[in-house]
Amino acid sequence: MTWSSGSMFSFKILSENVIVVRGLAGRNVFLSKGLDFLAGYKLLMPQIKEFLPLTPLSGDESWGAVVASFIRTRMIEKFHSTMLGAVATSYAAWGDNGTLGLFQSVNQIVFRVSLPLAGCQLLAEDARTVEALVDIFSRLEEGSQPSSLIFPWIPTPTRIRRVLAGAQLYRMTKRVVEERERLGLEVDDSLQTLIRHKYPMSEIARFIATILFASVTNTANLFAWTLVYLEVYKPWKARVAAEVENFLWDSNIIVSRNLFDDIANVPLSSMDEKLPTIELITYEVLRLHARGPFIRRNIGGDSTVDGADLPNGSFIMFPAEDLHWNPELFPDPEVFDPTRFTAENIEQRKKFGVSYIGWGAGRHQCVGKRTALLEIKMMIVLLMAKYDFQITDTANRPLSAVPAVYTKQLFKVCGPQEAVNIEYRIKSGC
């Protein structure tokens, strides 16, 4: 799909109505009130709908509100050191030098980092359990191809593996909840809040699945692609390296000593404020790779927005590419240019209204935006502080161009078509 300034069209997936809105007018429709993000994804993504019941919660954007109540500043601050510890443990497992598959290795790190926020710290503490979760989500993601939406009933081997993986995830979630209830544990986290409010097990499992799907399918690949672009665009890698060095110096951190413990004591506000180059690059990488359709479901009753009829229960899709690759908003949109997201350039685009939805927009802000950015910053800071590294192809040659993207999966930041590796060596004195 290429960017378009056109209006809209519709089609059916089985008995469901799907309305695709395009261009700037379509953007206005998509950002209107009464559209629920999870209600869209859980019905159109078979890897979720096949193992979780589909009974909706009541109220406008109710699940968005539920998720937002947990991924908030207090919770991030509470688990800050735990998240850093997860990154540190993952890097320590790499050893002093070696070569690993970049996207696969990053998946495991992000799983470890995300599990505490989902209330599953117990799972994060066991390496084999983390590996099992990575495998589960790999099998679940096999079902996000278009054919799975059109022919979901065909009992293919992929579908059978997907159903079994979903059941396995459900059982793991149930075991964590039952263990807490058996021991009478009261933990100050998102999972305990759901238990205390007596959410059914199906809704608890859905919440955990949502957090982990968002982490694995977007944050992990976004971080991996960021490292790819740093390899290909060396001046930006040098700028980030200098920024990390200054950040450590300003925070009175000596790399050769207790690096991980020292960084855990750095206020989150410092990571928010003192790593702007990493943030610019992350925004631009997401612009380039968030090109597919975003989905919402109309749960606010029949409505008309900008002349578009939106029947209650219909699905609304909007291709992010209509904004992110629109040359009026982003000249030479295929070019990697992080300066597009300086304060000055963002201000210049405000005359067009919302021009970027990589982190959501309007009433549909991504509730995990700060968490994702902090995770990426943590991983880059610790990686650059501890290792010299380069990103290579399967022949161990440093990348000189950005690899082609695998495009046969929907609703996510996709990985590359060909394998990409990270070759690393620990720095002297670390």
The answer to the question of whether 366 is labelled as a binding residue is yes
Per-residue pLDDT, 311? 84
CA neighbor of 217 nearest in space, from 411, 4, 428, 17: 411
Per-residue pLDDT, 72? 58
Q: Note whether residue 92 is domain-resident.
A: yes
Q: Note whether residue 2 is domain-resident.
A: no
Q: What's the 3-state SS for the chain?
A: CCCCCCCEEEEEECCEEEEEECHHHHHHHHCCCCEEHHHHHHHHCHHHHCCCCCCCCCCCCHHHHHHHHHCCHHHHHHCHHHHHHHHHHHHHHHCCEEEEEHHHHHHHHHHHHHCCCCCCHHHHCCHHHHHHHHHHHHHHHHHHCHHHHHCCCCCCHHHHHHHHHHHHHHHHHHHHHHHHHHHCCCCCCHHHHHHHCCCCHHHHHHHHHHHHHHHHHHHHHHHHHHHHHHHHCHHHHHHHHHHHHHHHHHCCCCCCCCHHHHHHCCCHHHHHHCCHHHHHHHHHHHHHHCCCEEEEEECCCCEEECCEEECCCCEEEEECHHHHCCCCCCCCCCCCCHHHHCHHHHHHHHHHCCCCCECEECCEECCCHHHHHHHHHHHHHHHHHHEEEEEECCCCCECCCCCCECCCCCCCCCCECCCCEEEEEECCCC
Q: Note whether residue 29 is domain-resident.
A: yes
Instruction: Provide the token pair at 291.
Output: 């090109």
Per-residue pLDDT, 317? 85
Residue 392 and residue 101 in contact, taking contact as beta carbons nearer than 8 Å: no
pTM (predicted TM-score): 0.85
Per-residue pLDDT, 134? 79
Q: Which domain holds residue 102?
A: 8-426
pLDDT at 345 over 90: yes
Q: Mean pLDDT over residues 28-50, rounded? A: 62
CA neighbor of 275 nearest in space, from 385, 367, 349: 385
Per-residue pLDDT, 165? 72
Per-residue pLDDT, 410? 63
pLDDT at 315 over 80: yes
Q: Note whether residue 418 is domain-resident.
A: yes
Query: 173-187, 390-404, 408-422: which has the minimum mean pLDDT?
Result: 173-187
- Predicted confidence (pLDDT) per residue in 74-117, tens digit: 667 777 788 888 888 899 899 999 999 999 899 889 888 888 77
pLDDT at 57 over 60: no
Q: Note whether residue 1 is domain-resident.
A: no
- Predicted confidence (pLDDT) per residue in 149-169, tens digit: 545 555 556 666 666 777 777
- Predicted confidence (pLDDT) per residue in 364-380, tens digit: 677 678 888 999 999 99
Q: Note whether residue 178 is domain-resident.
A: yes
Query: 31-45, 264-278, 364-378: which has the minimum mean pLDDT?
Result: 31-45
Q: Note whether residue 202 is domain-resident.
A: yes
The single-letter code of the amino acid at 421 is N
Q: Note whether residue 3 is domain-resident.
A: no
Total of domains in the chain: 1
Any idea what the CATH number is for the domain that residue 122 is in? Answer: 1.10.630.10
